[in-house]
C-alpha cells in the first residue's frame, strides 16, 4: 500500500517546500500572499491532496466556473490551467470575449519569457493546455506573473459585470 493522500495546509506545504526548494521559499510566500489578497472575497485557494508533495490552487468563484486558474506545487512547479479557462465553443459573444481575454493572458505570459511550451498560439493544443513551469523559470519573473494574473482576473470580472448589465 502506497502513501495516503493528505490535505495540505500552508504550514505543511511550506515545510515540504523548504526541503525540496529552499531557495524559492520567498517566491512561494509571495505568490501565496498575492493570491490570498487578489482573490479575497471572490474565491480563494484550494489546498491540494497529493501524496508526495503539497499544492495550492488559485480560483475565483465567478470566473471560469470556479475552476483553478493556476496551481503551485511544493516540488517547484507552477501549472497554468488553460484548459479550464479557454472557451472551446465560441458560440456567443460572451464566449468569444472570454477567449480574447485568455488569448491576451497567454500572449502576456509568452512575452514575459516562460518556457517555449507556452505560446500565445499553441496553448489550446492537446498536451499544452496545462503547461508546467519550474520555479527556476518563473521565480525571477514573479512580479510580471502577478501583474499578468491580476489583469486576467480584472478583465474577466469586467467582462462578467458587463454581461450581467446587458
pLDDT in tens, 131-158: 888 888 888 888 999 999 999 988 888 8
pLDDT in tens, 49-107: 888 889 999 888 878 888 899 999 998 889 888 888 876 677 788 888 888 888 888 88
* Cα atoms found within 13 Å of the Cα of residue 165, Cβ hemisphere only: 6
The gap between the terminal CA atoms of the chain, to the nearest Å, is 55
With H, G, I as helix, E, B as strand and everything else as coil, classify residue 144.
Answer: helix
CA–CA distance, 1 with 56 (Å, rounded to integer): 26
Closest CA to 12 of 55, 61, 72, 67: 55
* Ranges of each domain in the chain: 10-165
> Quick check: pTM over 0.85?
no
Amino acid at each position: 500500500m502506497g502513501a495516503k493522500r493528505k490535505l495540505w495546509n500552508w504550514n505543511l506545504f511550506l515545510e515540504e517546500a523548504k526541503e525540496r526548494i529552499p531557495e524559492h521559499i520567498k517566491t512561494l510566500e509571495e505568490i501565496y500572499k498575492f493570491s490570498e489578497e487578489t482573490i479575497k472575497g471572490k474565491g480563494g485557494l484550494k489546498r491540494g491532496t497529493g501524496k508526495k508533495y503539497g499544492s495550492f490552487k488559485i480560483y475565483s468563484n465567478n470566473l471560469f466556473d470556479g475552476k483553478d486558474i493556476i496551481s503551485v506545487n511544493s516540488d517547484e512547479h507552477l501549472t497554468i490551467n488553460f484548459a479550464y479557462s479557454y472557451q472551446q465553443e465560441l458560440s456567443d459573444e460572451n464566449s468569444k470575449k472570454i477567449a480574447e481575454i485568455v488569448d491576451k493572458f497567454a500572449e502576456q505570459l509568452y512575452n514575459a519569457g516562460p518556457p517555449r511550451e507556452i505560446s500565445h498560439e499553441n496553448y489550446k493544443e492537446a498536451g499544452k493546455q496545462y503547461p508546467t513551469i519550474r520555479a527556476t523559470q518563473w521565480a525571477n519573473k514573479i512580479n510580471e506573473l502577478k501583474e499578468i494574473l491580476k489583469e486576467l482576473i480584472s478583465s474577466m470580472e469586467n467582462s462578467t459585470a458587463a454581461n450581467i448589465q446587458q
